[in-house]
Amino acid sequence: MNYLDLAMDAALSLGAEYADIRIQKTTDQVVTMRNLSLKNADIRILDGYGIRIFKDGAWGFAHNNVFSKEAVIKTVNRAYEIACLSAKVNKDKKLRLAPERSYIASFKTPLKIDPFDIPLSQKVEMMMDVNSMMMAFEGIAQTSFHMIMHKDEKLFASTLGTRLEISHQFIDPVITATAIYDGDSQSRTFDEGGRAVGWEWIESMDLTEKAKQIAEEALMKVKADTLGPEERRTLILDPNHLGLTMHESVGHPTELDRVLGWEADFAGISFATPEKLKNYQYGSEIVNFMGDNTLEGGLATMGFDDDGVPGQKWHIIKDGILNEYGSTRDTAMEIGLDYSRGCNRATYYYDQPINRIPNLYLMPGKEKLSLGQLIADTDDGVYIQGRGSFSIDQHRVNFQFGGDFFWEIKNGKLHRPLKKVLYKSCNPEFWNSCDAICDERFWRPFGVVNCGKGQPSQTARMTHGASPARFRNIRVGGSQ
Amino acid sequence: MKTEDIRKFIIENTKADDFSCLIREVDSHETRFAQNGITQHLAGPKMGITLNLSFGKKSGSSSTNQSDEKSLLQLIKTAEDIAMLAPEDPEHIASAKEIQLPKIDNVSQATLDLSPETMVDIVQRSIDKARAMDALVSGMCEKHHHKLCMFTKNGFHGKDEFTIFGHSMTLKKGDVETKVSYDSKDYAGFDLDSLFARLASQAEALKDLKSFDAQKIAVILRPAALMELLRYMGWMLNRRQSDEGFTPFTGMLDKQCFGELFNFSSTRTRDEIIAHSFITGWGMPEGIPAQQTQWVENGVLKNMPVGRYWAEKTGAEPSGIFNMYIQGGDVSEEEMMKMVPRGLIINRFWYIRPVDMKRGELTGMTRDGVLYFEDGEIKHAVNNLRFNEIPHEMTKRFLALGKEELASASAIVPTALIGDFNFVDKTNF
């Protein structure tokens, strides 16, 4: 049975102005090892379809997990009825969809070795080796290794004539060592945030060596000094840390649905309002952010979004100026754009797609500059590695971040490890204080696999990237 | 296949030494509106079957959302294959045994009967009311009907069923933004007119906003704010994490580590909130009866949630937090304002995250309205502020508790007057 054509024909016969169907099968393998206890070895499959119908300036979305002619027709009817109900409310505030052409295309995440082809026993053996090695360190009280292998297989059809076949995969290993010393407990984590690649990525990394490093650093961290009272200092942030900083302070504020107030009741709105486009000094002149859903290995690189719009690459911030948003077909028209940037994504088949952050990264510095040179050029500061505590207000202005590991810098050298460091800043102060970015040799991507947004809540994934960068005159200090 | 048929099929076809299975079903209708229009509108059923099984101490797990015979056979085979490949788990325990479970009464006929047309009408009336005051409203009107069934090889057989109706509204008028929400198992208790009146009243109070610097100051936390802050204590109260040294409550069982005014339980005696029949595990099936439990009594930590493995190892009764009841008092907000020279009234918090898990320190922002009071009366609104606080230490600074309120479908929480709340930064709105 061709459910794609069946659904689209049924939607058109009802009078839909636009409709699409996304048949989506999600397979997750989740393996969790706590010390040497296998806490979870699970394969989870979610298989179903979501049907969107656009009618009289409003959406209706219905989903189902039953694959039959009757169930598909029933779901189309339900989506249509919901759209008609929505349209009554939207009679004075009709949504519009940006024009888009049709595509017949397919996309498959490029990978050499499918992680699902690797036997569980091999994965578990590797995880036990890693945890055993960390547990051998005196003072390490708990170890964990959590790995997700994720695959989305989608068939998409729309009344524009688009037919897409998409297979998107990623893998995300996370290793944590927790040390206890003198009444304190501190963790250090290896977490690249996931990457849309195959098992060859795991094989290319020496995870045992990385685990050894985090166990040693967890022990250093739990015994480290705290920083003392907050004062204005220089910060150097590593690419992994910057991934989360940019996610919160650039990625979310430049989602067009937030800008329009569509997330006002839950995830919040944005200070980066449309009158600031092309004139607002978001960051210093060396700050350039790209939205790029064509990025190799990117978690949001999947050929097309769930509007059927192809992946694109564009400047979100150009030479420090707010340049453009991440948009969808229905948000773009609200600010007069006649195209979408292809940022409409749903997590599972039963989710209505919403405006999400694309792969978003800070462009490397144009001048040759290494991390060593950057540290050597810093008299007094703090170097933060990895991700820690993070919190930002609902307009995306004021924020406080921690990190996973900290070094005090004195006279151009890493002076001593620190723990419990926090920094506070706000937009646009923070990105305007950026005075140096290392060059492309030091640029690295880091994924985010747990971006929560929307009502009902959805968890999206995207990749960020950066070279180490320096920020001047930021409020940095110890916790409470 | 229906739930009972799925149960019989899995019991008949699973060859493992032991197994636990959880079947979850939910039917939802969700209408999301923003800036006086509907932006999302969705409906449909969801289901999930999770099977954990073991051969000896070797365990595997699999989940599916398909209930035909072929899919269920595949579910069993996948879990069995994983178990065969897994190493022996030193922390393996047998599945839950047959046990008498608490009776439940979590289904509201009014919620079940709520039609999509009525939900859209609620949204339309919310928008009409906002338009009448030249404002914009955003929010969510939702209803859910959940059903759970869990069974094990060892005879555990539990069923749970509950409904949820929710309607939230964030009003924006000029620079003022504020929110109210109703979240309950029972639609019958919903009154849009009074909820919107509260929203309008909150908005009116926030009109005159003045800059306010971060400082330690007394606060009146309204129920939604207190609930959001205390939710994070759930993880920190975990018995195993505490016994192993990772939380502030290591070695604190039966000790006074909260303020004397603080009483926290999961209750089966308050009909307004959902009290489940049994508790599932982090990786799903576990099957712990949801018994009435006093976690904190007059500031003394009396019980800590503990999973079945750690309970067996330590001789504790397995338990879990299935709802939140924070005992209140009888002090009104007006009386609270007179008990301290000056302070802030907080409607809600936002983006709360751990700062230091071992100390139990959290950070977060105020949201949806902060009011400054002095000499017993509200003076004006102030900008939103960032806090860094340790909730269990904060309860030692409780000065008074107000009337208990339904804060969510599974929480009853009072207003609280708290001294020296630690604000550390401010934002520009």
**Which CATH number among 3.40.640.10, 3.20.20.100, 3.30.2290.10, 1.10.1040.10 corresponds to the domain A3-222?**
3.30.2290.10
Can you tell me whether residue B187 is helix, strand or coil?
helix
Largest alpha-carbon pair distance within chain A? 73
pLDDT band at B285 (very low <50, low <70, confident <90, very high): confident
For β-strands B157-173 and B176-184, DSSP reports them as: antiparallel
* Mean pLDDT for chain B overall: 96
**Percentage helix, strand, coil for chain B under 3-state DSSP, each rounded to 5:** 25, 45, 30
Residue with tokens 């804060």: B407
In which residue are the tokens 């067009």 written? A256
Which token pair is B79? Answer: 């879990």
Q: So what's the pLDDT on residue A1? A: 77
Average pLDDT over residues B377-394: 97
Question: What whole-number distance in Å separates Cα of residue A209 and Cα of residue A195?
Answer: 20
Q: Are strands B136-152 and B157-173 parallel, antiparallel or unpaired?
A: antiparallel
Q: What is the pLDDT of residues B2-57, one digit of tens each?
A: 999 999 999 999 999 999 999 999 999 999 999 999 999 999 999 999 999 999 99
Helix pair angle (B116-132, B192-205), 10° resolution: 30
- CB contacts of A121 in chain B (<8 Å) are 85-86
Q: List the domain boundaries for chain A.
A: 3-222, 231-478
CATH class of B3-197: alpha beta
* Cis omega (within 30 of 0) for bond into A428: yes
Among A390-399, B170-179, B226-235, whose mean pLDDT is lowest? B226-235
pLDDT at A7: 98
Which residues of A94-205 form beta strands (DSSP E)? 104-108, 140-158, 163-181, 184-191
B168 touches chain A (CB under 8 A): yes
Three-state secondary-structure class, residue B115: coil
Q: Enumerate the residues of chain B whose CB falls inside 8 A of the CB of residue A272.
A: none
Question: What is the mean pLDDT of the segment spanning B151-173?
Answer: 97
Q: Give the pairing type, strands A231-237 and A380-385.
A: parallel
Cα A193 from chain centroid (whole Å): 8
Q: In this structure, are residues B347 and B178 in contact, taking their beta carbons and an 8 Å threshold?
A: yes
pLDDT of residue A480: 61
Residue B203 has pLDDT above 80, yes or no: yes
Cβ-proximal residues to B313 (8 Å cutoff; 6+ apart), any chain: none
Q: Which two tokens stand for residue A109?
A: 């995440």
Taking the Cβ of residue A357 and every Cβ of chain B, the question of whether any pair is shorter than 8 Å is answered with: no
DSSP assignment string, B70-88: HHHHHHHHHHHHHHHHSPP
- State whether A264 and B177 contact (CB < 8 Å): yes
What is the ipTM, given to two decimal places?
A: 0.95
Q: For residue A77, what are the β-bridge partners?
A: none
* pTM score, whole prediction: 0.97
- Three-class secondary structure of residue A121 per DSSP: helix
Asked if residues A464 and A360 have their Cβ atoms less than 8 Å apart, the reply is yes
What whole-number distance in Å separates Cα of residue A339 and Cα of residue A330?
Answer: 10
Mutate which of B40, B348, B382 to disrupt the A interface (most A C-beta within 10 Å)? B40
Quote the CA–CA distance of A268 and A202 in Å, as a whole number: 37
Phi, then psi, of A395 in degrees rounded to 5: -100, 0
Q: How far apart are CA B151 and CA B170, in angstroms?
A: 42
State the smallest CA–CA distance between residue B335 and chain A in angstroms.
31
By the 8 A CB rule, do A192 and A240 touch? yes
Instruction: Tell me the CA distances in angstroms from A201 to A301, B283, B345, B404, B416, one per residue in order.
Output: 17, 27, 52, 54, 52
Angle between helices A120-135 and B69-85 (to 10 degrees): 40
CA distance B177 to B348: 12
As a whole-number percent, the residues of chain B with pLDDT over 90 amount to 97
Q: Which pLDDT band, with edges at 50, 70 and 90, does B281 fall under?
A: confident
- Picking from A36, A86, A265, the nearest residue to B38 by CB comes out as A86
Residues in B 375-394 with any Cβ partner in A closer than 8 A: 384, 386, 388-390
pLDDT of residue B305: 97
Regarding beta strands B18-34 and A469-478, do their DSSP bridges make them parallel or antiparallel, or are they unpaired?
Answer: unpaired
Beta-bridge mates of residue B203: none
Q: Say if A106 is an interface residue toward chain B (CB within 8 Å).
A: no
pLDDT of B398 strictly over 90? yes
The end-to-end CA distance of chain A, in Å, is 62
pLDDT digits (tens, 9 = 90+) for B92-113: 999 999 999 999 999 999 999 9
Blockwise average pLDDT, block size 10, chain A, 480 residues: 95 98 97 94 96 98 98 98 98 96 98 96 95 97 97 98 98 98 97 96 95 98 95 98 98 98 97 98 98 98 98 98 98 97 98 98 98 97 97 97 98 97 98 98 97 95 98 90
B:11-50 residues touching chain A, CB 8 A cutoff: 28, 30-48, 50
Parse chain B into domains and list their residue ranges.
3-197, 198-230+329-426, 234-326
**Mean of the pLDDT values across residues B275-295?**
92
Question: Is B84 an interface residue toward A (CB < 8 Å)?
Answer: no
